[in-house]
């Protein structure tokens, strides 16, 4: 499989560039018979789109998705579903200086070296966070498929911005509050602090990172495969395709590695006639397989690399030191836009595994 594709039975190929004509997605392997219209996808896309608030970039994009194939009379057909968003409102001139002066923390330098200058560098081109909109196109379909066939539900939220950390874990009840504020943190007070921190960074010409936590419930037992097909393997592969992601952990994760087996092991018990565990330090995954507890994971985003402060860089033609102030419109913090992206990739991976396990048939109904 080439680098723009993921998934074996629910396969997704992403194409397009930040400032090219369009961005798009092709899904192959989606079962036939799923009711689907553009609205299903648009709804989820709207949750990540730029220009929504003070805390994210001012670039305004309609981001209207069009389904090009694979849907007939309101249902998926089993054929590839191609989707597209036409780009608009690009300010390509902002990026012209970047050809020679790679931005610290961005893909500019290795991309230029890899493609010997042939890559479309405008707005980061293929490496832009804008491509995560294609993840949402695929994810909206995967999510609907999982929800309708197996009742699986994923929700992700901002659990940390810079040093401001939400306490406790979000309960299903709090889900509805995630999108009630700009930073996507269901705890109002914390959300307010996060917003303040982002605006302070912005004012300072700087940016902040943060953490998204994602919880998926109603998972059947036994999804995933031992060794390289482990759920953790496939989820992390997908999540690391989000630009700016630098860490992925499951359950108790890095913290768990500081504890002892007796503390970290989740002991089994029966609850409402079901086998469950008393804690969920495994994040719902044991031996690479789901154990029917919620899948809990955390994704660390580095602070956005495009900042207004002056930074040292080099001129790639003269190989001389120089400096750079990144202009253009950039998110001071990309984290608030990430929850639907994380939801999407989790859904794409789980849909793939559910089909591989025979839990979703090739034709619904």
Of residues 118-147, those binding a second copy (CB under 8 A): 118-120, 124-127, 131
The DSSP secondary-structure symbol of 169 reads: -
**Binding status of residue 251 toward a second copy by CB under 8 A:** yes
- How buried is 63 (Cβ within 10 angstroms: 0-12 exposed, 13-18 middle, 19+ buried)? buried
Of residues 66-85, those binding a second copy (CB under 8 A): 68-70, 72, 75-82, 84
Q: Which stretch binds a second copy (CB under 8 A): 39-47, 49-57, 176-184, 350-358?
A: 350-358
Residue 340, both tokens: 């639907």
Which of 283, 294, 339, 340 binds a second copy (CB under 8 A)? It is: 283
- Identify which of 70, 95, 88 has the alpha carbon closest to the alpha carbon of residue 13: 70
Which of 149, 225, 327, 328 binds a second copy (CB under 8 A)? It is: 225
Which of 300, 342, 351, 354 binds a second copy (CB under 8 A)? It is: 300
C-alpha–C-alpha distance, residues 306 and 286, integer Å: 39
Which of 56, 156, 207, 216 binds a second copy (CB under 8 A)? It is: 207
Spatial contact of 198 and 332, defined as CB atoms under 8 Å apart: yes
Nearest 5°: phi and psi at 295? -80, 120
Task: Kindly write out the interface string for residues 262-281 of this chain, putting x where it contacts a second copy by CB under 8 A and - elsewhere.
Answer: xxxxxxxxx--x-x-xx--x
Distance of CA 29 to the CA centre of its chain: 21
Spatial contact of 50 and 59, defined as CB atoms under 8 Å apart: yes
Q: Which stretch binds a second copy (CB under 8 A): 44-52, 91-99, 141-149, 245-253?
A: 245-253
Which of 38, 40, 94, 206 binds a second copy (CB under 8 A)? It is: 206
Residue 59 three-state SS: coil
Q: 66 or 175: whose CB is closer to a second copy?
A: 66
């Amino acid at each position: 499989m080439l680098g723009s594709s993921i998934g074996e039975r629910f396969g997704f190929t992403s194409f397009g560039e930040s400032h090219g004509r369009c961005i798009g997605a092709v899904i192959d392997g989606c079962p036939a018979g799923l009711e689907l219209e553009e609205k299903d996808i648009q709804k989820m896309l709207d949750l990540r789109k730029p220009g929504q608030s003070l805390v994210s970039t001012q670039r305004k994009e309609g981001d209207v998705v069009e389904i090009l194939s694979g849907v007939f009379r309101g249902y998926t057909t089993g054929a590839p579903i191609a989707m597209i968003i036409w780009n608009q409102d690009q300010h390509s001139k902002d990026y012209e200086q970047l050809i020679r002066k790679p931005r610290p923390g961005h893909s500019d330098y290795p991309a230029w070296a890899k493609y010997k200058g042939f890559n479309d560098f405008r707005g980061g081109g293929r490496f832009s966070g804008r491509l995560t909109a294609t993840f949402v196109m695929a994810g909206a379909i995967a999510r609907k498929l999982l929800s309708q066939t197996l009742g699986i539900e994923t929700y992700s939220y901002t659990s940390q911005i810079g040093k401001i950390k939400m306490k406790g874990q979000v309960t299903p009840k709090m889900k509805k509050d995630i999108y009630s504020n700009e930073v996507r943190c269901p705890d109002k007070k914390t959300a307010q602090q996060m917003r303040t921190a982002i605006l302070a960074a912005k004012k300072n010409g700087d940016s902040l990172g943060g953490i998204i936590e994602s919880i998926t419930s109603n998972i059947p037992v036994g999804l995933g495969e031992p060794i390289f097909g482990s759920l953790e393997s496939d989820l992390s592969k997908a999540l690391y395709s989000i630009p700016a992601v630098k860490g992925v952990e499951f359950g108790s994760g890095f913290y768990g590695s500081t504890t002892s087996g007796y503390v970290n092991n989740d002991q089994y018990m029966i609850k409402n006639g079901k086998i469950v565990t008393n804690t969920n330090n495994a994040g719902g995954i044991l031996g690479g397989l789901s154990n029917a507890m919620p899948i809990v994971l955390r994704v660390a985003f580095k602070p956005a690399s495009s900042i207004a402060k002056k930074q040292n860089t080099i001129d790639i033609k003269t190989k001389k030191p120089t400096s750079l102030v990144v202009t253009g419109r950039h998110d001071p913090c990309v984290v608030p836009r990430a929850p639907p992206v994380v939801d999407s990739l989790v859904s794409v991976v789980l849909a793939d595994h559910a089909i591989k396990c025979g839990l979703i048939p090739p034709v619904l109904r």
